[in-house]
Structure 1
Amino acid sequence: MASRELFAYLCVADAARAIAFYREAFDATEMFRLVEPGGRIGHAEVDFGGTTLMLCEEFPELGIRRPDPSHGHSATLHLHVDDADTTIRRAIAAGATLERAASDAFYGERSGVVIDPCGHRWSIGHSIEDVTPEEMQRRYAALMAQG
């Protein structure tokens, strides 16, 4: 059996608000949404430059719940962009909270972290140099040795 694709599938409190945020902050495009008679969005898909993000609203009856940032984060979405600083500023202007400002990292990327209005954690970065896995490991070990 071969895997073909991997999609992130997020649960949010308000899918319409999430889609509006992703459109404003990240230039995402809504592909479609499925709405229940009561108004709950049961499924939606958003395109991020050729990558699909799926989302739904809570289904407590099935144990599907939105994140609770007060308990930390078990997952981070990494969005690779042309300009991390600009994208982070746009995300904050659209309602995200800054967790870590953009900075240059040992692995050859400039990146920062925001929490979107739905509570999901996003690492946003762009490449600043090509670094081999061996060099990355050397730099990582040196960084860890510094304490």
Structure 2
Amino acid sequence: MTTLTPYLTVHDARAAIEFYGAAFGAVETGERYEEGGRIGFAALTVDGAPLFLSDEAHEYGAWAPTSAGHATAAVALAVADVDATYARAVAAGAAVDREPSDQGDERRGWLVDPFGHRWVISSPLP
């Protein structure tokens, strides 16, 4: 079995856990490692898919996009209703990048979360 799990570095992991819960329905699994007031590791799931995150730790080479000045990757999230998920994420604090639109056989929209990570939200067209 092969699993690929996004492991995001953010400027404020506690706020990120709240945002991902409000925007995407993420649930913290209870696995959390804290060190010196920082979250070194937190495990969440989004509709059963794993998502890991941590606070910045420059001494370990972990920099958030907000410190780097730009996102360096994007996270793709397939959902049942792009428009509803996109609207919920924007209401929770995400910035609009590209509004949802029909693209090929998918409906897709791009946004940037409050921590500088880009997300593409998509669902198949009927």
TM-score normalised to the size of structure 2?
A: 0.92
Q: Aligned to 2:108, which of 94, 111, 119?
A: 111
Secondary structure at the residue paired with 1:6? coil
Aligned CA RMSD, in angstroms, stands at 1.6
How do 1:1-147 residues align onto structure 2 when only pairs under 5 Å count? Answer: 4-32=2-30, 33-36=32-35, 38-68=36-66, 71-106=69-104, 108-129=105-126
| 5+ residue gaps, structure 1 | 130-147
Structure (1 or 2) with the greater helix fraction:
1
Q: Distance in 2 between matches of 1:12 and 1:53?
A: 13
TM-score of the pair, normalised by structure 1: 0.80
Alpha carbons of structure 1 residues 72 and 58: separation in structure 2 relative to 1, 3 Å: closer
Over 3 Å counting, the alpha-carbon distance change for 1:25 and 1:39 in structure 2 is same
Q: Distance in 2 between matches of 1:70 and 1:114?
A: 18
Identity of aligned residues (%): 43
Task: Describe the shift of the 1:84–1:69 C-alpha distance in structure 2 as closer, same or farther (beyond 3 A).
Answer: farther
Residue 63 of structure 1 and its aligned partner are, at CA, apart by: 1.6
Give, as a single letter, the amino acid of the residue that structure 1 aligns with 2:25.
D
In terms of Rg, which structure is larger? Answer: 1
Task: Summarize deviations over 1:24-72 as a string: whole Å, max 9, x none.
Answer: 0111101122111x21000001101111001111111122100148854
The question of whether the paired residues in 2 share the 8 Å contact of 1:42 and 1:56 is answered with yes
SS at match of 2:64: coil
SS in 1 for 2:65: coil
Q: Match of 1:123, SS? A: strand
Query: By percentage of residues, which structure has more strand?
Result: 2
